[in-house]
Amino acid sequence: MRIIVTGATSMLGCALIDECTKKNTEVMAIVRKGSLRENRIPASPLVHIVHADIDDLDKIEYDGREYDALYHFAWGHTSKLDRNLATAQEKNIRDTLLVADFAAKFHCKKFVFAGSQAEYGSIDGVITPDTNPKPITAYGMAKLSAGMLSRLTCEQNNITHIWTRIFSVYGIRDQEWTMIKYAIDSFSKGVKASFSAGTQMWNYLYETDAGKMFYLLGEKDVSNGIYHIASADTRPLREYIEQICDVWDKNVVDAGVKSDAFNVMDNAGVKSDAFDVMDNAGVKSDAFDVMDDAGDGVKNDDGASVKNDPGAGVKKDVGASVKKDAGASVKKTAVCEFGTYDSKNKIVGIQPDISETVKAIGFVPEVSFEQGISNIIDWKM
């Protein structure tokens, strides 16, 4: 198999390329000029990097070969501010159409579009590919529009259009401001991690499983359609958070792992500014008010933002200061606090149905949440 990937430096782009190198699949990786993340792309003679912005794709000469699929992960203007700016998101629609034209120029058999669960909007219940999309953000609206218009372009060029909708993917290459990274970073610094009540249903998929799902959508004889990229593990968000705590204690505390991350104080007990993530009034930081569904900076207002009822913010906890201990292994139990459930301000979660995807590719995600979190902790330590 031979493929083309835009957004190749993203978490999903790298996960897909990782899988390609294992399957002896050749990759043309389109990388933005001046990208600082190019070194994230797996090094392999199978991977050929082409430096180009989306606007410059028409300058790339056709190499005379056929490609099995083009995967479109690239998506700009993903900051929290830009997510709801219609003019910023509108360019992503035009860029997607340029990429679809590029797929036709390079004789691609499939166009795999990285859509988002944000296209559905706020759905309280199980979400299937047939669920009526009602996006509530400019980001979700742009994803929906880009999917519809690229599908039309593919129909006109006899290209199979694979419309994926990504829910919540996590992993080692994830952004630093996600809930999972926030929790692990808090535990490593010895500070209390604060969350909402966590009653909403949630679903997490590990990056390597996502890479396999995308690969198989390109490899298998899959027809035009919408395919969910998610796991079969849907449960209350609080259960996921509590499991992160348990895995931390098992991997770090019980194992007696020593990390410089704990050495945030000197022997005199001088507290580090690392603890000053919020003031004593519990003022919530907007930096935590972000989640990532695609793992490549495509941020979602998906209900899992780290929010708290008044007074439940991440606070200074002087008594929890961690001191150096003459070279001994430092053990610190993960400490979490949860807000109170507010029935008047219910947070809607995500409950994806992946049965159509599993049927199409014959693969069920394999990495448990416990294993995925263990991988992240091992990598960070």
Q: Which of 122-131, 204-213, 245-254, 329-338 has the lowest mean pLDDT?
A: 329-338
Point out which residues pair with 169 in neighbouring strands: 205
pLDDT at 328 over 80: no
How far is the C-alpha of 73 from the C-alpha of 220, rounded, in Å? 19
Higher pLDDT, 39 or 329: 39
How far is the C-alpha of 128 from the C-alpha of 108, rounded, in Å? 28
What integer best gives the mean pLDDT of the chain?
83
For residue 125, the SS3 value is coil
Whose tokens are 């296209």? That residue is 119
Neighbours of 229 (CB within 10 A): 27
pLDDT at 86 over 80: yes
Structure tokens at 60: 């790339």
Among residues 228, 287, 59, 18, which one has the least CA distance to residue 3?
18
How far is the C-alpha of 303 from the C-alpha of 309, rounded, in Å? 14
pLDDT of residue 287: 31
pLDDT of residue 134: 97
Map out the domains of the chain as residue ranges.
Answer: 2-174+206-232+352-367, 179-198+236-292+302-345
Do β-strands 234-236 and 201-203 pair in parallel, antiparallel, or remain unpaired? antiparallel
In the CATH hierarchy, which top-level class contains the domain 2-174+206-232+352-367? alpha beta
DSSP 127: B
**Residues near 294 by beta carbon (within 8 Å), at least 6 away in sequence:** 10, 11, 12, 73, 75, 114, 116, 166, 169
> What is the pLDDT confidence band of residue 345, given thresholds at 50, 70 and 90?
confident
pLDDT at 14 over 90: yes
291-322 pLDDT, tens per residue? 334 333 333 333 333 333 333 333 333 333 33
Structure tokens at 143: 């994803």
Higher pLDDT, 168 or 80: 168
For residue 115, which phi and psi values (nearest 5 degrees)?
A: -85, -170
Asked whether the CA dihedral 238, 244, 248, 249 is positive or negative, the reply is: positive
Residues in the chain: 381
How far is the C-alpha of 216 from the C-alpha of 366, rounded, in Å? 14
pLDDT at 329 over 60: no
Name the percent of the chain in helix, strand, coil, to the closest 5. Answer: 35, 15, 45
pLDDT of residue 341: 87
Point out which residues pair with 235 in neighbouring strands: 202
Neighbours of 48 (CB within 10 A): 12
pLDDT at 64 over 90: yes
Structure tokens at 283: 């003022």
> What is the pLDDT confidence band of residue 138, given thresholds at 50, 70 and 90?
very high
Higher pLDDT, 321 or 94: 94
pLDDT of residue 279: 30
Which segments of 73-176 are extended strands (E)? Answer: 108-116, 160-166, 169-170
Helices (H) and strands (E) in the chain, counts: 8, 15
Cβ–Cβ under 8 Å, residues 181 and 219: no
**Which pTM does this prediction carry?**
0.81
pLDDT of residue 332: 66
Mean pLDDT of all residues in 170-182 = 92
